Amino acid sequence: MNIIEVTNQKHRTEFLDLAGKLYKNDSNYARPLDAEIEGIFNPDNNSFFSHGKAIRWILQDENGATIGRIAAFINEKKAHTYEQPTGGCGFFECIDDKKAAFLLFDTAKSWLSDNGMEAMDGPVNFGENDNHWGLLVDGFIPQGYGMPYHQKYYKAFFEEYGFKVFFEQYSYHLDLSKKFPERFWKIAEWIAKKPGFSFEHFRYDNSEKYVQDIISVYNEAWKFHDNFSPIDPEDLRKIAREGKGVIEEEFIWFAYHEGKPIAFFVAMPDINQILIKMNGKFNLWNKLKFLYYLKRKTITRARITIMGVVPKYQRFGVESAIFWHMDKVMKHKPQYNEMELSWVGDFNPKMVSIYESVGGVKMKTHFTYRYLFDRNKPFNRTPIIPLENRGDKAKRKKAKESAE
């Protein structure tokens, strides 16, 4: 077997096409657009290159056929926030051959080690964790856009190599034809109409305001996380620009208290229902097909990609009030019959409780693994930090030490 660094167009094509070959008989698999994957490895498109680096390889057999692939990356903003400097590996695909899989893992590990890392997470993305993050281990059904789909045998590869579960990621599904629990509605309506609170959805004609509102809430809500790094506003502007025509303005909501942004909620139409017909290509013909299927209202699912609430307001039921507004929107869009609530970590029992309170059913589980290069060091999972401990660094430190 021969490991080859991806450095030219032929290698890039082999890297991209391998997944299509491995899943060609799997009707649940929707191949991501080639341009999207290529953009992740292009410094001109991916802002993470301003504070990190990435590399990728393909693995070929003795006949020159590509049988595996993997990427490795370092995000300098997060790598050194852990006890062991930690990089990542991702975009792993491989035939059912443990020797081949282990060679791919070894290659990523060696590069990361040479670059000062002492651990690697995988499979993860060289970007935010809302896309291409985690290994699918349960729920081998059509995935929402951005949620990875994998071969069932990958789990054994990761665990036999020595990866351990760092945290679990759950995706809940909500049947929009069913009513929300009555108790939930009473709380939601009460909050939605409470004086001082206001709610509004995203509008393109005022998009910069909403970009800044997301940043404000995100920075406040996530700043106590151990590996927090602020959002790059240009990344949000890029998403808004590239999503125009697909993004539903009424699927993105904001909550305010006395005019100050305190929460946001982002849901996106699940374009995988169209991309599954395109085999990763977005040429002129497929663009026309995309518009055709979009106009025909082929998309019947939406996916919640992220929700954030400023800690001070996390016990006010603001999330419930946003769902209350979203329910009114969905009544005017009857083509949507399902909402994916993804993903929530096992370290976040508060959000798990919210998803279950609205009637969500756990349908998919992804694992984010971690591999420590020093096999003698103790392994610690992501700690569960109770809501009441957020904002108090002393309590958070104590909770973390208890978890370890």
Pairwise CA distance, residues 106 & 162, whole Å: 11
pLDDT for 403 equals 39
Candidate from 126-135, 150-159, 231-240, 255-264 with smallest mean pLDDT: 231-240
Regarding predicted confidence, which is higher, 185 or 65? 65
DSSP-based three-state secondary structure for 348: coil
**pLDDT (average), residues 293-313:** 91
**Per-residue pLDDT at 135 exceeds 50:** yes
Cα–Cα dist 346/261, whole Å:
27
- Judged against a pLDDT cut of 60, whether residue 401 lies above it is answered with no
Distance of CA 317 to the CA centre of its chain: 24
Q: Given a cut of 90, is residue 389 above it in pLDDT?
A: no
- Contact 68/77 with Cβ under 8 angstroms? no
Of 193 and 52, the one with more pLDDT: 52
40 vs 194, more confident: 40
Most confident of the following: 296-305, 311-320, 370-379: 370-379
Domains and CATH numbers, the chain: 2-168+367-373 (3.40.630.30), 178-336 (3.40.630.30)
Helical packing angle, 349-357 and 318-331, nearest 10°: 40
pLDDT single digits (tens) 182-240: 777 777 778 878 889 999 999 999 999 999 999 999 988 877 665 567 788 888 898 89
- Report pTM: 0.88
Whole-number pLDDT of residue 381: 93
Rg value, the chain, Cα? 21
- Length of the chain measured in residues: 404
For 289, the 3-state DSSP assignment is: helix
Mean pLDDT calculated for residue range 324-328: 85
Between 237 and 180, the higher pLDDT residue: 237
- The predicted model gives 160-169 an average pLDDT of 97
Q: Would you state the pLDDT for residue 228?
A: 64
Residue 385: the pLDDT is 54
pLDDT recorded at residue 395: 42
Q: Is the pLDDT of residue 35 over 90?
A: yes
